[in-house]
Every structure is written in C-alpha cells, then in structure tokens.
Structure 1
Amino acid sequence: MAMTSGLFCPKCGKETEAEGLCTACFREEHVLFEVPQVLEVKICAKCPSYKVGEQWIDTKLETYEDLVKKATIKIVDLAVKMNKEAESPRIKIFPEFINPNVLRVRVQAEAYVLGRHMSDEKEVEVRVRKETCDICSRIAGGYYEGIIQVRAQNRFPTKKEMGKALKIIYDVVKKAEKAGDRLAFVTDEFDLPEGVDVYMGSVNCSRQASRAIVDDFGGTVLESPKLVGAKDGKDLYRVTFAVRIPEIVAGDIVNMHGKVVLVEKVGKRISGTELSSGHSTSAPEDVKLEKLSNRSEAMSTVLVSEEGNSVQILDPVTYEPMTIKKPIFLTRSPGDEIWVVKINNDVFLLPGGNRGKE
C-alpha cells in the first residue's frame, strides 16, 4: 500500500511533497518573468549602430547579421520583467533569423522565488526597422562644430606638409571615435593654395587635432568661437582653429646664433647641424631665424685633400681650390663627390650623400 505525505495543496487539493502550493499552482501564482510577444529593433541604415530608447549605441560589428543579433539581445534583455521575488536570476537569449527583417527569439530564465527553483521559456518575435542615426543624419547634412585652417607663416605650405597635417587630423579622429566621441568625424575638407580647411563634427576633436599638428610641426594655434544659435537654453558655438606652422622647415639652412645651420627638426624647438663644425644646435621655435638657403639648392663638387682639421675642395662655381674647416660629420675621402651650399662667398659641406640626404 502506497504511503502518502499527508500534505495537500491549499488551492487545488492535490497531494504535495512539501507544505504549501503544489508546483503547478505555485507557477500560476508566481510567474517567473514576462516579456512582450513582439518587439522592435531599430538599427542605422548607414553605420553599425542601434537605438536603445532615445540613444544610439555605436558598435564595431562588420556584418548586418551580427549588428541585428547584438541589438536584439540588448532590446529583449531590457524588455524582460523578472518576478520581484526572484533571486539569483539567470537569463539566456537565443535569436534566430526567420528572414532578414524578422527574428524568432527564445528567452530562457531561471531563478529562486520564495526559496523554490523556477525555470521558464518564452518566445518573442523581433522585427527590424532601419532608420538613420543622429550622427549619420548630421554627416549627411554637413554638420560641423569646428574648422581647422592649416596655413604656413609667410609662405605656402608644401603638399607633403598638408598630407602630413591631414594624416594627423584623421589619426586624432580615429582615436576620439574609439574613445566614444560620436561627433568625431570629418564633414568636409578643402584644399587651397594657401593651405587646407577641414570641417569637423566635434569641437573637442578639432582642438585635439590642432594641438597635435602644432606638437609635430611647431607653430601656433588660435581659437575663434562664433555664436550660431541656442539649444535647450545653451548657446551654440562654432570654433575656427587657425593653425600656423612655422616659416622654417626641415632642410632649410638658416642663420642661428650667428652660425650657418642646416635645420633637421622643427617643433617646440628648432634643431639642426652647424655646418662649419658639424655640431648639433637648437633654438626655441619663437626665435626669428634668417633663411639663407635650402638643402635642395646644394651643388656637387670634389673633395681634393684632407689635412688635420681642414679640407681642400673645389669651389662649385669657379672650380678654384679652396680650404675650409673640416666638419665632424665628414666621412668622404679625397677624390669623392661631396655636396655643398654656397652662401655669399662661403662654401659649407652638407652631411649625408646626395644633396645632403642620407
């Protein structure tokens, strides 16, 4: 004869193994979780981002499927409403495409409710809707907050300099984008004879890029804000960043401290090689330097002889022998071709090979 527990469910009267409601009645009175049968996921039609509430979330996902699945899991997870009595809840979400715009999602959950372990599974239909996110809308509309104007002092910048400046700007934009600045984008750029103008989505990113250019080239940056309106009671400004790179560049030959110096690096300090001795020297970037020549104007001649601290060379113009001080960088031997610059009546050897290049 079977033994009975002597315990009965107070609701349905079925025999139970423990005091209180049977499992069926307990599940009926204590629903583990609820979730809508149909949900909508909004993704950007142009970039890998999706919308949660009123906020767009950027991702680095490369495929449409990965983006939709990530957005689906996030939206479904937020929509799940667990029982208030649930302890140690665990939720698993399994999205599956029915077609490119509809997913079937299984939601599994388990937890302890009033000391009892419960588990349940529900199915949700998720429909995909494509919109254009706020940032893509701004880019399409030509939105900008900052303008970087790159110029050179008392000259036109070279194509090489402008290419380097643009690379610095785009590198800063890339880093700012990774750091979460959703306005870190370039709206437009205009190549001009006197330099380049770059329109930027973010003022902060524009400021960082301008300072990065000056850190590399030397020079100055001047900010000029302009009031363009107001939003939510706050004034809105567009800021122009006037970047001025130095007049002197690497390769120029200048009068520094009364000496003839080949400029090799321009930044916070201008450094180079004193051509008469070969020693390194430098000066602050704001020191006024007289430009005497440039390495591109070098001429070839012949090293005739070497004796002690002096060398004999041929004048590159008159071909007459002349004796000059031997710089410490000279590694050529008599009879070798050398490169020199002639400034007034003085001739200076250049370090390196062809036109002073290593």
Structure 2
Amino acid sequence: MELRCPKCGISSREIPFSGPFCIKCKPVNIKCPKRMEFIRCSKCGRVRLKGNWVKADESRLSEEVISKCKGEFIGGSYDFRKQEATFFVGDKNRMFPVKRRIKVSIVKNICQECSRKSGGYFEGIIQLRGPKGKVMKACRTIKKMLAKTTFITKEEAKKEGLDLYVGSSKAVVELLAELHLRAKMSKKLAGQKEGKRLYRTTFLIRL
C-alpha cells in the first residue's frame, strides 16, 4: 500500500518510510547542549579538554562537540563557521542529515605550563658535563624529548658544560630512565605551597 508522508507529501514508492513518516521527516530524538565553550591557550594554542591541555584542531573539537550529544544518530560533525551540527540518521543503506544549532565559543586564556614558562618557573636543573661535542649532542636529544612532556625555561652555557632549567623534575626522571642515563641528584628547598615543601632537583650528568 502506498503511503504519503503527512509532513512533506512524498510517496513511499520514492523513499523508505518509518511508521507514518518518510525517513527524512521522521521525528528524531537528538539532545544537544545549546552552548559549549572551549578554552584555548593564547601562547601555545593547546585546548583544555577533560582537565588536560592538548593539541586540538577543528576536527578534534568537532568530535568533542558531537560526543556531548545523545540520540538516534549514526555519526555527525560540527561546522564552527555555521555554528551548526549535522547528524546522520537512518541505516547503513540510506542515511539523511539532521541539523541542530549549537553555539560554540572559544575563550582565550593561558595554560599553567605557559604561565610558568613565561614566569621563569623551573623544578629541575640538568647539568651536562663532558666534551663539548658530547654535551651538545646530548642537549639536542634531551630538549627534543622533554618538549613532549614539559618545557625548558633557560639554557645556560658553562665553562665545564651546559645547564638546562626544566619545568618538571618528574619529566627529567622519566627521561633519564628512557635514555638509560645516570645522574647524580641533589635537592634544595625552594619554598612552600599550601603547607607543602617544594624542592628543586639538580641532575648532574657526566658524559
């Protein structure tokens, strides 16, 4: 029996139906937030997602927007210029787009790491000692690897080698283990925060 969609008038001979409606006009249950906000660091460009500062392009942020929406859809994407989400409903054989307006704003701020870096903050000092060639080679490797987990506030040339002032002592410890490097460690009290003692650690590496 031929059906006519009560909303658009199309025939069931032209398009699949779901109940009394054609699949395009079938009421779809999709719940979306009306507004969303992302915080982007104005220094490094990273975005705060789930408590962490991460590199995220529009594609990654689009995924985050869609993940906050629930309902009867197979997939979706978000257009930042149109401020519009497009969801795909139906089945694997035939899908149709359903659009929803979601206002997404991106607020600029400064992440803790960039704030510390600009303020000269450091928790550890790597002291590289040895022949100049070995020191420079080790320095390049260390800087490249530390860039993945922390930052270097200052690089200071010394008569006997090179000092690197690093934002995270923990990152240095992990680096030493990964590179199988031995270091003589010494700690110095740098102050207190919320009643907790803060130390700066010096890592002496002889090459």
- Structure 1 residues 4, 244: CA separation in 2 closer, same or farther (over 3 Å shift)? closer
> Aligned partners of 1:118, 1:167: CA distance in 2, in Å?
53
Selected match of 2:69 from 76, 80, 105: 80
> Structure 2 length normalisation: TM-score?
0.69
Q: Which amino acid aligns with 2:66?
A: D
* 1:90/1:110 contact within 8 Å kept: yes
Deviations along 1:73-118, one digit per CA (max 9) or x if unpaired, are 0341233132xxx5xx412114142xxxxx5223214268xxxx99
**Where does the alignment leave 5 or more consecutive residues of structure 2 unmatched?**
4-11, 13-18
- Structure 1 residues 104, 195: CA separation in 2 closer, same or farther (over 3 Å shift)? same
Counterpart of 1:90 in structure 2 is 74
Secondary structure in 1 matching 2:74: strand
> Aligned partners of 1:239, 1:138: CA distance in 2, in Å?
17
CA shift, 1:236, in A, is 4.2
> Structure 1 length normalisation: TM-score?
0.43
Deviations along 1:20-58, one digit per CA (max 9) or x if unpaired, are x8559x83xxx5112233332322212232122433223
- Aligned pairs for 1:277-292 within 5 A: none
Deviations along 1:272-302, one digit per CA (max 9) or x if unpaired, are xxxxxxxxxxxxxxxxxxxxxxxxxxxxxxx
CA shift, 1:134, in A, is 2.3
Counterpart of 1:223 in structure 2 is 185
Selected match of 1:196 from 154, 162, 167: 162
CA shift, 1:232, in A, is 7.7
> Aligned partners of 1:45, 1:125: CA distance in 2, in Å?
21
> Aligned partners of 1:125, 1:93: CA distance in 2, in Å?
14
> Aligned partners of 1:213, 1:36: CA distance in 2, in Å?
46
Counterpart of 1:165 in structure 2 is 138
**Where does the alignment leave 5 or more consecutive residues of structure 1 unmatched?**
6-16, 60-66, 98-102, 153-157, 246-358
Counterpart of 1:140 in structure 2 is 118
CA shift, 1:235, in A, is 5.4
**Greater percentage in strand:** 1
Counterpart of 1:104 in structure 2 is 83
Q: Number of residues paired by the alignment? A: 189
Deviations along 1:167-205, one digit per CA (max 9) or x if unpaired, are 23223325xx1xxx3x2x211111121322111122243
* 2:47/2:53 contact within 8 Å kept: yes
- Structure 1 residues 55, 165: CA separation in 2 closer, same or farther (over 3 Å shift)? closer
Structure having the higher Rg: 1
> Aligned partners of 2:76, 2:44: CA distance in 1, in Å?
27
- Please provide the CA RMSD for this pair: 3.8
> Aligned partners of 1:92, 1:231: CA distance in 2, in Å?
45
* 1:33/1:109 contact within 8 Å kept: no
> Aligned partners of 1:205, 1:72: CA distance in 2, in Å?
28
* 2:89/2:97 contact within 8 Å kept: yes
The share of aligned pairs that are identical, in percent, is 27
